[in-house]
């Protein structure tokens, strides 16, 4: 019993911490990942509009730089996805936004800083326009680690957002599952949140679970991915207010350090001070037939896990570098040196890149086959067979 009460206390505190850090009124810890948090948010948008007999809103606006889960979420929730262009500074194109807002707009999904690693400079005006059209603002919180303790999404004009607890509040930029896509929102949307949520009981120090009055229901069994909640709570308690702010300050500083050390060799997608990540292009001057994939594979030979490539989709030959707050200067310098060496090789000995990695047990994997015919159980003989191929 006692253990159970402590679990509820931890959830209650985590709800409050997340609400405070993000500037929202209510939090639900149910969703299992960012993508499920998005789905939850868009279902809440729908429930909100329908509760007001506002039945003609069928469209969700999504910028062309968005993570693939954003349009997938809107489509899965039954909405028509309306794509918004980005402008030459990497922000949402305001003219395109104005053209596409209408009485059909249910809401907009936006990541800030966005997936190009840039702060949306017009965020307040974007939110004002969407609200004026009767729409709601969904914040994709996957890049929250750039702004902790500096600015709150709730104050930027977002109505709802997901936290990727497994990214921002434990393992910088993911690192695999399990996940938690807790969600926060304004008081107006709180009645629709999934439950159970936790609230304080009559007696101080007691807690109870409840379903919000107009809840969209459960989205996950039990109490979400509870283990991830414990990790996030611990991370927040350990760092405290000043520590969380430092996470973002260092993450942003590190990303800009790497960007300025490499941008003469790897042209930036947009030449602007970046936030927690910078998107460069694997288009090295004087290199023939070398692609970002070759550069990424060659990095393995230098002992580095390659960064995200070919995302965001609007940047040709994208190489997205996010050092996070945890990398030491020494590590970043080794990484920068490796990419400088690779840029030289790309011009002088491009075959070294085409055949990379040289030091790994496997070279280029057949990613299509891996997706279509996944082998989910380890089979020693089969593995030996594959290695011999
Ligand atoms: C990771 C990520 C998501 C999805 O989160 P998951 O927890 O992987 O489902 C959504 N948007 C952005 C920008 C992300 O980086």
Q: How far is the CA of 386 from the centre of ligand 1 (A)?
A: 32
- pLDDT single digits (tens) 112-122: 999 999 999 99
Domain ranges (residues) in the chain: 2-241, 263-372
Q: Which atom of ligand 1 is nearest to the CA of 35?
A: 9
Three-state SS annotation for the chain: CHHHHHHHHHHHHHHHHHHHHHCCCEEECCCCCHHHHHHHHHHHHHHHHHHCCCCCCCEEEEECCCCCHHHHHHHHCCCEEEEECECCCCCECHHHHHHHCCCCEEEEEEECCCCCCCCCCCHHHHHHHHHHCCCEEEEEHHHHHHCCCCCCHHHHCCCEEECCHHHHCCCCCCCCCCCCCCEEECCCCHHHCCCCEEEECCCCCCEEEECCCCCCCCCCCCCCCHHHHHHHHHHHHHHHHHHHHHHHHHHHHHHHHHHHHHCCCCCECCCCCCCCCEEEECCCCCCCCCCHHHHHHHHHHCCCCCCEECCCCCCCCEEEECCCCCCCHHHHHHHHHHHHHHHHHHHHCHHHHHCCCCCCCCCCCCHHHHHHCCCCCCCHHHHHHHHHC
Radius of gyration (C-alpha) of the chain in whole angstroms:
22
List the residue whose alpha carbon is closest to atom 3 of ligand 1: 34
Q: Angle at CA 60, nearest 5°, toward 186 and 156?
A: 35
Per-residue confidence (pLDDT) for residue 173, from 0 to 100 = 66
> How remote is the CA of residue 112 from the centroid of ligand 1, in Å?
13
- 2-241 and 263-372: identical CATH topology: no
Residue owning the nearest CA to atom 14 of ligand 1: 142
Nearest atom in ligand 1 to the alpha carbon of residue 115 is: 13
The pLDDT value given to residue 311: 95
pLDDT the model gives residue 90? 97
Cα-to-centroid distance, 61 and ligand 1 (Å): 18
Atom nearest to 174 CA in ligand 1: 1
Q: Identify whether the C-beta of residue 153 lies closer than 8 Å to the C-beta of residue 22.
A: yes
Whole-number Å distance, alpha carbon 102 to ligand 1 midpoint, is 28
Predicted local confidence at residue 387, as pLDDT: 83
pLDDT of residue 2: 46
Say how far apart CA 117 and CA 119 lie, in whole Å: 7
Mutate to test the pocket of ligand 1, among 120, 140, 324 (most ligand atoms within 8 A of CB): 140
Q: Name the residue at shortest CA distance from atom 15 of ligand 1.
A: 142
Residue whose structure tokens are 């400079």: 121
CATH architecture designation of domain 263-372: Alpha-Beta Complex (3.90)
Query: What separation in Å is there between the alpha carbon of 258 and the centre of ligand 1?
Result: 23
**Architecture of the domain delimited by 2-241:** 3-Layer(aba) Sandwich (3.40)
Q: Quote the pLDDT of residue 174.
A: 62
Ligand 1: residues within 6 Å at CB?
33-35, 67, 69, 111, 115, 140, 142, 164, 179, 181
Low-confidence ranges of the chain (pLDDT < 70): 1-4, 172-176
Q: State which ligand 1 atom lies nearest to the alpha carbon of 69.
A: 10
Q: Ligand 1 atom 6: the closest Cα is on which residue?
A: 34
**pLDDT, the chain, mean:** 95
């Amino acid at each position: 019993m006692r253990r159970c009460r402590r679990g509820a206390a931890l959830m209650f505190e985590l709800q409050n911490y997340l609400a405070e850090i993000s500037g929202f009124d209510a939090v639900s810890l149910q969703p299992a990942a960012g993508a499920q948090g998005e789905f939850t948010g868009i279902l809440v948008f729908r429930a909100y509009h329908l509760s007001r007999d506002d039945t003609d809103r069928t469209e969700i606006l999504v910028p062309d730089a968005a993570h693939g889960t954003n349009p997938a979420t809107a489509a899965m929730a039954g909405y028509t996805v309306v794509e918004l262009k980005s402008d030459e500074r990497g922000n949402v194109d305001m003219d395109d936004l104005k053209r596409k807002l209408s009485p059909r707009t249910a809401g907009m999904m936006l990541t800030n800083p966005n997936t190009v690693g840039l702060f949306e400079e017009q965020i307040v005006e974007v939110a004002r326009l969407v609200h004026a059209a009767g729409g709601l603002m969904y914040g994709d919180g996957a890049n929250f680690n750039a702004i902790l303790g500096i600015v709150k999404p709730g104050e930027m004009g977002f109505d709802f957002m997901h936290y990727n607890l497994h990214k921002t509040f434990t393992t910088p930029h993911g690192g695999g599952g399990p996940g938690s896509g807790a969600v926060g929102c304004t008081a107006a949307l709180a009645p629709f949140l999934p439950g159970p949520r936790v609230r304080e009981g009559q007696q101080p120090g007691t807690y109870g679970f409840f379903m919000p009055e107009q809840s969209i229901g459960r989205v996950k069994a039990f109490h979400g991915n509870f283990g991830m909640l414990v990790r996030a709570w611990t991370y927040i308690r350990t760092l405290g207010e000043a520590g969380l702010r430092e996470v973002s300050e260092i993450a942003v500083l590190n990303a800009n350090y790497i960007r300025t050390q490499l941008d003469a060799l790897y042209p930036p997608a947009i030449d602007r001070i970046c936030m927690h990540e910078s998107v460069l292009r694997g288009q090295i001057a004087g290199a023939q037939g070398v692609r970002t994939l070759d550069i990424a594979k060659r990095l393995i030979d230098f002992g580095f896990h390659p960064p995200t490539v070919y995302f965001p989709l609007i940047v040709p030959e994208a190489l997205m570098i996010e050092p996070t707050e945890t990398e030491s200067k020494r590590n970043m310098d080794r990484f920068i040196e490796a990419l400088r060496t690779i840029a030289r090789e790309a011009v002088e000995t491009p075959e070294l890149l085409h055949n990379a990695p040289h030091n790994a047990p496997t070279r280029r994997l057949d990613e299509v086959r891996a997706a279509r015919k996944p082998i989910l159980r380890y089979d020693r003989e089969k593995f030996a067979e594959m290695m011999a191929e």
